[in-house]
Amino acid sequence: MSLTVVGSIAFDSVRTPFGERERMLGGSAVHFSLAASFFTTVRAVGPVGDDFGDEELAVLQGRGVETDDIEHVPGGQTFFWRAHYDHDLNVAHTDDTQLNVFGDFEPKLSDASREAEVLFLGNIQPELQRRVRRQCGARLVALDSMNLWINTTREALAAAIAETDCLMLNDAELRMLTEEPNLARAARRAMDLGPEIVVAKRGEYGAALFTGEGFFAIPGYLLEDVCDPTGAGDSFAGGFLGYLDAEDAERPSPEAMRRAMAYGTALASFNVEDFGTERVARLTREEIEERYEALRRLTHFDLAVT
């Protein structure tokens, strides 16, 4: 079992109604790796600058994440994102983006990363996603994207999606990509592009899974205290794909994908309980199993007695 993630490694400065943090560890590859590491061996691929040091590496290495393919660019600065959230925590308001070393990112994968059985192409430029995909022979390839690439590189994104098995977008992006206002129709249109699995992330409302066999939806885990939703979608993806890799099947069964949806939801719910990586970095597998069981109880009901 092994999983490679290619994506951003960042410093985030975030303000929410419940507090703020300056230059905390973030980025899609980081949030994904921490979540997936509870289930399988994860190799993270992404660039960092001189401002990224042993303290940041220790967060990943402390969870057993393989960091050999994190590329240090001498003289450079790590990708930086500043944002704030109002009381609608589903909407991030970007205040500043500095691509820095991420602007010239050309993924360099070791033999071990190329040979991973599962590959997650994080939210990067679609042509980069395609170049990474061509280097890997993974049995399961998943892709994330965003409205920027849908608006500016739609044809390249469609080509990248066609080369993958699983598309993971939030529900608004899925509608934007397919120009279908109905989520179920949008998922079917997305499957026509090539992937056999489509996952629509729906923030606090949960997620929906679409395959050729049908669909499955799971609610978000209800929390009284939410601090920061940054990285929740990548934590969901890490839990989802990490669990599927642990199943070690040639193709995931419908039952395994439903369990993976629950684990992804559990990891995302922990992510939002504190800022950045703070909650997931101190999380235990026992806590994950307890929340998985709580989700199972939440979504279970008995048939009426006749």
The DSSP secondary-structure symbol of 37 reads T
pLDDT at 305 over 80: no
Give CA 211 to chain center in angstroms: 19
Residue at 220 is within a domain: yes
pLDDT at 209 over 90: yes
Residue at 71 is within a domain: yes
The DSSP secondary-structure symbol of 66 reads B
Residue at 305 is within a domain: no
pLDDT at 249 over 90: no
Residue at 205 is within a domain: yes
Confidence of residue 131 (pLDDT cuts 50, 70, 90): very high
Residue range(s) defining the domain that contains residue 202: 3-298
**65-109, pLDDT tens digit by residue?**
999 999 999 999 999 999 999 988 888 999 999 999 999 999 989
3-state secondary structure string, 139-174? CEEEEECCHHHHHHCHHHHHHHHHCCCEEEEEHHHH
φ, ψ for residue 118 (rounded to 5)? -130, 140
Residue at 245 is within a domain: yes
CA distance 30 to 235: 9
Q: How confident is the model over 165-193, as a mean pLDDT?
A: 97
**Residue-level pLDDT at 301:** 82
Domain count, the chain: 1
Give the position of tokens 């990248």. 160
Length of the chain: 306
Residue at 285 is within a domain: yes
Residue at 303 is within a domain: no
Between 183-192 and 171-178, two packed helices, what is the crossing angle to 10 degrees? 60
82 near 95, Cβ under 8 Å? yes
**Residue-level pLDDT at 79:** 96
**Residue-level pLDDT at 87:** 87
What does pLDDT average to over the chain? Answer: 95
Q: How confident is the model over 225-231, as a mean pLDDT?
A: 94
To the nearest whole percent, how much of the chain has pLDDT over 70? 100
Report the CATH number that the domain containing residue 161 is assigned in CATH.
Answer: 3.40.1190.20
